[in-house]
Amino acid sequence: MRFTHSGPAPTERNDAKTLKTLLPYLLEFKGRVALALSLLMLAKLANVSVPWFLKDIVDQLSATQAALAMPLGLVAAYGLARLATSVFGELRDAVFAKVTQRAIRRIALQVFEHLHRLSLRFHLERQTGGMSRDIERGTKGIGFLLNFTLFNILPTLVEIGLVAGILLVNYHWSFAVVTFLTIASYIGFTLGVTEWRMVFRRSMNELDSQANSKAIDALLNYETVKYFGNERYEVARYDGNLASWERSAVRNQTSLNFLNAGQGVIIAVGVTVLVGLAARGVVDGSMSVGDMVLVNAYLIQLYAPLNFLGFVYREIKHSLADMERMFTLLEQGEEVADRPGAQTLATRQAAIRFEQVQFGYDGKRQILHDVSFDIPAGKTVAVVGASGAGKSTLSRLLFRFYDVGAGRITLNGVDIRELTQASLRTHIGIVPQDTVLFNDSIYYNIAYGRPDASREQVIEAARAAHIHDFVSQLPDGYDTVVGERGLKLSGGEKQRVAIARTLLKNPPILIFDEATSALDSHTEKAIQAELAEIAAQRTTLIIAHRLSTVVDAHQIVVMEGGRIIEQGSFRDLLDRQGRFAQMWQLQLQDADHA
């Protein structure tokens, strides 16, 4: 089987596809959605009735024999209609709040879960800052889209239809024609200009993500920046990204001003024409003063939602653009996925075999060439060789961070690709060379190996890793926060936390990838003895550069250029006077000169 890259996620989405993605989250609360829509319709009906009450009040007051009781009743009805509009609107928002917040929660959780299912390759290539900004903008866009699509676009269109119908039925057809022409011109202009503006919004998003990625990358590598005195360089690089964003933001703002001005012209012309028609009707006696007030009130009611419709449409398009990148993450294919019917591994005795394994991170360079060796159950096998020989790649393949390009890796005779990734990884514990810790307490980082462990078990693991005494001397003890990526601890302290974490996990398979490389000689010997005792009943793979750490291994595999060049016990390899013996002599000389 040839190794293949899953490829980049699709970058093109259409708005209909994005809206369709949200539909299941609305259907989860069908009752709430239906109730919210009912309240919406009641609010709009109440709102449309307000000008009629106002018209009757004006006509009654304009009459020469106006009765005082009648206007008071109309005034009360007018007030109740306005109150109903407000109350129904607030009830609608309260009912729908759970739908919106649950959708945001579920989608954010879905993205988070999906990111953890993606391969190591994706996470090595991604930029954390930009991706986090994409998710942040996308989740905010969901709330805006759900609320404003249902409660502004839909009701505005309903209200426009009701008002236009009322004008057509009760007044001269010219009122309805002018209203429809104004609305059509407004909507057409808004859609056209907004679509043209979207390129600026997308450009702003891209440049904003890039600037954020550069800033976070520089802050995460604070020490490196200081080592080389490159503060001004980083500031200049960040400012370069911000300058590009500024240019895009200016174009976005000026195009918005053009859109607003055009909308204002269209509304002003339409309103002026309708007021002129109403005034002429009053003059020639075909309309009362109340009719004039009613038409004017409807114009005001139409003007507000029409103006808001333009804003909402722009923001919905912006939200869709913001959500595009987040949903694109969900479309990113899983490079390493469980096969249908994958087995769940459950064993305490694990025999591992690498069979003619070949692998390359890309098609340009092969890392492993026909690698074959066994790690019998309960035995310790060490892999040694120079940097770049492919040693650490073996552990990544065993964890199934990647799948082999050819050959196979078996566990108790079963290809690990036939096992579920979750069950496979629960059986393997690793102490990596480069230990990265969470920005939390020491206790949290040790307990991460088995979150359900008791405090006594966590402390016992710390004792076994020879870090308990050090932690106990800290002012905050186990509650000491280790900082971003554990930078508040030394390399040796971080490695001991990693060892404790792995000991707490208590897996049947152990991988030590230069596990004691950051420790001093005294501590290293103490922990080596502890690790040897722990590994005695476990299947253990030791990846080492210092040969003194693998003397007691049952088997030693020597790698060079991605190939196995020697295998055997420590004594056998020395007797052969081959590559391992040369490496041993070189390290002895280095130790003598140290």
Nearest to 103 by CA among 186, 189, 27, 209: 27
**541, 394 contact by CB (below 8 A):** yes
Distance CA 177, CA 185 (A): 12
Distances in whole angstroms, Cα of residue 184 to Cα of each of 66, 177, 190 = 41, 10, 10
pLDDT of the residue at 2: 36
Q: Look at 297-311, 441-455, 549-563 and tell me which has the smallest mean pLDDT.
A: 297-311
Please state, for a pLDDT cut of 90, what percent of the chain lies above it.
17
- Sequence-ordered list of residues with C-beta below 8 angstroms from that of 218, at least 6 positions apart, any chain: 225, 234, 237, 238
Element (DSSP H or E) covering residue 585: helix 579-593
What pLDDT score does 382 carry? Answer: 92
CA-nearest of 128, 126, 120 to 5 is: 120
DSSP H helical ranges for 349-454: 391-398, 421-426, 442-447
pLDDT of residue 540: 92
Residue ranges per structural domain of the chain? 15-331, 352-427+507-593, 438-494
Separation of alpha carbons 422 and 48, rounded Å:
59
Contact 424, 492 (CB under 8 A): no
Give the 3-state secondary structure of residue 165.
helix
Overall average pLDDT of the 220-245 stretch: 81
Of the two residues 286 and 454, the one the predictor is more confident about is: 454
Look at residue 123 in the predicted model and tell me its pLDDT.
66
HEC profile for 235-302? HHHHHHHHHHHHHHHHHHHHHHHHHHHHHHHHHHHHHHHHHHHHHHHHHCCCCCHHHHHHHHHHHHHH
- Report percent pLDDT > 70 for the chain: 88
How far apart are alpha carbons 294 and 78 in whole angstroms?
13
d(CA 560, CA 549): 19
Which helix H or strand E contains 153, and what residues bound it? Answer: none
pLDDT mean over 545-555: 84
Crossing angle of helices 289-331 and 69-117, in 10° steps, is 10
Question: DSSP alpha helices (H): ranges in 149-230?
Answer: 154-170, 173-220, 222-227
d(CA 246, CA 242): 6
Whether 66 has a pLDDT exceeding 70, the answer reads no
Pick from 152-161, 335-344, 505-514, 558-567: least confident? 152-161
Q: What is the pLDDT of residues 411-429, one digit of tens each?
A: 999 999 999 988 998 999 8
Is a pLDDT exceeding 70 seen at residue 63? no
**Is residue 273 scored above 90 in pLDDT?**
no
Residue 405 has pLDDT above 70, yes or no: yes
What distance in Å separates the CA atoms of residue 128 and residue 111, rounded to the nearest whole number? Answer: 14
β-bridge pairing 539-544 and 563-568: unpaired
Looking at residue 545, the DSSP 8-state letter turns out to be S
- Type of residue numbered 93: D
Predicted local confidence at residue 370, as pLDDT:
92
User: Average of pLDDT values for 294-318?
Assistant: 72
Give pLDDT, residue 1.
36
Helix axes 30-62, 15-27, angle to 10 degrees: 100
Question: What is residue 593's predicted lDDT score, i.e. its pLDDT?
Answer: 53
| Nearest CA among 512, 202, 481 for reference residue 381 | 512
Widest pairwise Cα distance in the chain: 125
pLDDT reported for residue 348: 87
Q: Is the pLDDT of residue 361 over 70?
A: yes
Query: Quick one: pLDDT at residue 509?
Result: 93
Superfamily, domain 352-427+507-593:
P-loop containing nucleotide triphosphate hydrolases (3.40.50.300)
- CA 562, 566, 567, 568 torsion: positive or negative? negative
Q: How confident is the model at residue 329 (pLDDT cuts 50, 70, 90)?
A: confident
User: What is the pLDDT of the chain when averaged over all its residues?
Assistant: 81
- Whether the pLDDT of residue 91 is over 50: the answer is yes
In terms of phi and psi (left: phi > 0; alpha: psi -120 to 50; beta: otherwise), the region of 400 is: left
pLDDT at 61: 72
- How large is the average pLDDT for residues 20-37? 79
CB 70 within 8 A of CB 117: no
For residue 380, the surrounding DSSP H or E stretch is strand 380-385
Alpha-carbon distance of 402 to 425, in angstroms, equals 13
Whether residue 5 has pLDDT greater than 50? no
Give me the pLDDT at residue 458, please.
Answer: 93
Give the separation between CA 243 and CA 446, rounded to whole angstroms.
Answer: 44
Residues 6+ apart with CB under 8 A from 445: 437, 438, 482, 486, 497, 501
**Can you identify the CATH homologous superfamily of domain 15-331?**
ABC transporter type 1, transmembrane domain (1.20.1560.10)
- pLDDT for 8: 40
pLDDT for 457 equals 93
3-state secondary structure of 539: strand
Question: What pLDDT, on a 0 to 100 scale, did the predictor assign at position 435?
Answer: 80
Where would I find the H helices in 63-172? Answer: 69-117, 120-125, 128-148, 154-170
More confident residue, 470 or 165: 470
DSSP letters, 465-534, are: TT-HHHHHHSTTGGG-B--GGGTTS-HHHHHHHHHHHHHHH--SEEEEESTTTTS-HHHHHHHHHHHHHH
Please enumerate in sequence order all residues whose Cβ is within 8 A of that of 532, keeping only pairs 6 or more positions apart, or say none.
552
Q: Which pLDDT band, with edges at 50, 70 and 90, does 116 fall under?
A: confident
pLDDT above 60 (res 65):
no
The pLDDT of residue 6: 41
Task: Please tell me the predicted confidence (pLDDT) of residue 539.
Answer: 92
